[in-house]
Amino acid sequence: MAISIILAHPNPGSFNHAIAQTAARTLREMGRDVILHDLYAERFDPSMTATELNKDAALDPTIGQHCRQIASADGIVIVHPNWWAQPPAILKGWLDRVLRQGVAYTFGTNDKGEFGPIGLLKAAAAVVFNTSNTPADLEVKLYSDPLENLWRTCVFGFCGIRRFSRRLYSVVITSTPQQRAAWLADVERTVRDVFGAAPSR
């Protein structure tokens, strides 16, 4: 089972990096194959080109590799901070360029005879880990938790992944080492719960 981890934070010493490393270590301990992309470290180009808009466009080799990996992934983990109630621009560009028509979704008639989007991703589950400097209750009260709708409905629901989990850790800027350790323990528990026990060898 291959799990794709997509990390979007520019600081290699960030708590987001600790989350991604914890998720990757846990998955490897479970016997999973892990493909980890640190978008900033890899200098991923988030800019969609005009030639890429066509469904059957010839893709840049890096984008083609990302598309193949995400299409074949058995599970997906996304790690990013909450910036202006959105993912960082580099991750939004990854969504634009990689979760393309023909890779992550298509349009057609479903089994109910209705025309619309049909998800193509084969992953059985997706997990999103977010960090924020806004208290969680205010995130919901003031902003209606826009990241939950983005990932659950607009991205993974659209692309056919029905089993979705999201964990929000806040307030990071004032967190203690003990709090962060507890959060990383929660990352490990979440990954184990979502992606199951290690396969027999």
- Residue-wise pLDDT for 30-87, tens only, equals 999 999 999 999 999 999 999 999 888 999 999 999 999 999 999 999 999 999 999 9
How does strand 115-119 pair with strand 2-7?
Answer: unpaired
- Do 85 and 150 form a contact (C-beta atoms < 8 A)? no
Q: Which domains are assigned to the chain? A: 2-195 (3.40.50.360)
Strands (E), the chain: 2-7, 33-38, 75-81, 105-109, 115-119, 125-131, 163-169
Mean pLDDT in residue range 106-122? 90
Mean pLDDT in residue range 152-179? 96
pLDDT band at 199 (very low <50, low <70, confident <90, very high): very low
Mean pLDDT in residue range 9-19? 98
Cα angle, residue 126 at apex, residues 121 and 129 outer, rounded to 5°: 140
pTM: 0.93
In whole angstroms, give the CA distance from residue 35 to residue 3: 6
